[in-house]
Amino acid sequence: MTAFKTLDDVDVAGKRVLVRVDLNVPMDGDRVTDDTRLRAIQPTLNELSQKGAKTILLAHFGRPKGKRDESQSLRPVVAALEKTLIQDVGFAEDCVGEAAAAAVARMTPGDVLLLENVRFHAGEETNDPAFAAELAKLGDIYVNDAFSAAHRAHASTEGLARLLPAYAGRSMQAELDALSKALGSPERPVVAVVGGAKVSTKLDLLGNLVAKVDYLVIGGGMANTFLAAQGIDVGKSLCERDLLDTAREIEAKAKAAGCTIVLPADGRLAREFKAEAANRVAAVTEVAADEMILDIGPAGAEGVAKVLEQAKTLVWNGPFGAFELTPFDEGTVAVAQKAAALTVEGRLLSVAGGGDTVAALNHAGVAGDFTYVSTAGGAFLEWLEGKELPGVAALSATN
């Protein structure tokens, strides 16, 4: 991964530091219902305050389409941010112009100020140089601590990094370090677990991974498409029959690259997609015409556990089944617990990411035991796909 500067490389005392953060948090009215993203940026913001910086936060919220929309204001996030940081947080009614400039001018070292939603301006999403220049007037230094927005070439994630001295915040630094260890220069053997519903959403991902990993474990609805490509009848299971040739191409690519594809040997089958539906465990070759595979079975989970036993590095994106419904969570939970145990023993470096994956690991009670769990969805996926992330590339370009 290209070199980038961190907060260790700069003296921030008395400086106006523009920090791009991710405050796109779930809300119920004016109340933040999940503060995960706030806790992720806490180390960076507390460090800047303690070192005497004037910390100015840039963030987006929702999709206001370049116009002011009070229902998507960042003002309600202030209270939750104050609670997380244990300090007062100011708020400016705009992110550029007189309101922002006046609020910044009033700041003293150690203060934290949140600017209004950058997406209230059309120039944010078009990466308009004039809008980026307006933002740049407010700061002396730029820090990006929003990996989850790094796949977007927007004014506050990419344009601004080219106008001011740019650094990675602690959350961004941890993410990039973890990702570099997982796929940049990993210890082998490397295992990738890729689950989820559809092959079609992860074609680029699968194509990139077969060239980089030693074992590709395919789970969830995606596995059914690969099984069907081998001539196995998967009954009523979710299956993209128009992609059977694609699945065979990926298998051929994997073989040529020396990557072993691991598919489930058995599954937990049901006739209805609902919690506690009548179910049975059977080999994947024994699925009845009116049955669906809703989870990997115990033999399949054990097979994945054996692969993990010999691995040094694990990258995980996507569950093995309908983990939101009991008992179709058992396969995902069993594999997650195995990966966590190996990580705790120091035998495995484990990096996981994506919304469903984070939810599944939390459900299994092991998210805290993985080496690194990324809360970024699109950015994590694009990184796994081998794509350059504009927000990261801009940090590197400033060196």
Catalytic residue at 37?
yes
* Residue from 198, 253, 271, 387 carrying the catalytic annotation: 198
Residue by residue, DSSP assigns 117-143 as -GGGSHHHHTT-HHHHHHHHTT-SEEE
Crossing angle of helices 330-344 and 355-364, rounded to 10°: 80
Catalytic residue at 377?
no
Side-chain half-sphere CA neighbours of 274 within 13 A: 4
Do the annotations mark residue 238 as ligand-binding? Answer: no
Do the annotations mark residue 63 as ligand-binding? Answer: yes
Do the annotations mark residue 24 as ligand-binding? Answer: yes
Do the annotations mark residue 152 as ligand-binding? Answer: yes
Residue whose C-alpha is closest to residue 187's, from 165, 214, 206, 225: 214
Do the annotations mark residue 16 as ligand-binding? Answer: no
Do the annotations mark residue 219 as ligand-binding? Answer: no
User: Quick one: CA dihedral 7, 2, 211, 313, positive or negative?
Assistant: negative
Q: For residues 383 and 87, give the distance between their C-alpha atoms in angstroms, rounded to a whole number.
A: 34
* Residue from 20, 37, 170, 268 carrying the catalytic annotation: 37
DSSP H/E element including 21: none
Do the annotations mark residue 39 as ligand-binding? Answer: no
Strand partners of residue 349: 313
Catalytic residue at 54?
no
Catalytic residue at 196?
no
* Residue from 97, 378, 386, 387 carrying the catalytic annotation: 378
Do the annotations mark residue 324 as ligand-binding? Answer: yes
Q: For residues 217 and 173, give the distance between their C-alpha atoms in angstroms, rounded to a whole number.
A: 28
Do the annotations mark residue 23 as ligand-binding? Answer: yes
Phi, psi of 115 (to 5 degrees): -90, 155
Strand partners of residue 113: 56, 90
The structure tokens listed for 213 are 């990993």
* Residue from 31, 184, 255, 355 carrying the catalytic annotation: 355
Terminal alpha carbon distance of the chain: 14
Do the annotations mark residue 127 as ligand-binding? Answer: no
Are the C-beta atoms of residues 219 and 334 closer than 8 Å to each other?
Answer: no
Are the C-beta atoms of residues 373 and 379 closer than 8 Å to each other?
Answer: no
What letter represents residue 219's amino acid?
A: G
The DSSP call for residue 216 is E
Do the annotations mark residue 75 as ligand-binding? Answer: no
Q: For residues 138 and 97, give the distance between their C-alpha atoms in angstroms, rounded to a whole number.
A: 9
Do the annotations mark residue 202 as ligand-binding? Answer: yes
Do the annotations mark residue 69 as ligand-binding? Answer: no
Do the annotations mark residue 91 as ligand-binding? Answer: no
In the chain, which ranges are continuous DSSP H helix?
Answer: 36-50, 77-85, 97-105, 122-125, 129-136, 170-179, 203-209, 220-229, 244-257, 298-309, 330-344, 355-364, 378-384, 390-397
Residue whose C-alpha is closest to residue 76's, from 58, 91, 57: 91
Please report, in range form, the residues annotated as the binding site for ATP.
Answer: 202, 324, 354-357
Catalytic residues: 37, 198, 355, 378
Please report, in range form, the residues annotated as the binding site for (2R)-3-phosphoglycerate.
Answer: 37, 119, 152
Please report, in range form, the residues annotated as the binding site.
Answer: 22-24, 37, 60-63, 119, 152, 202, 324, 354-357
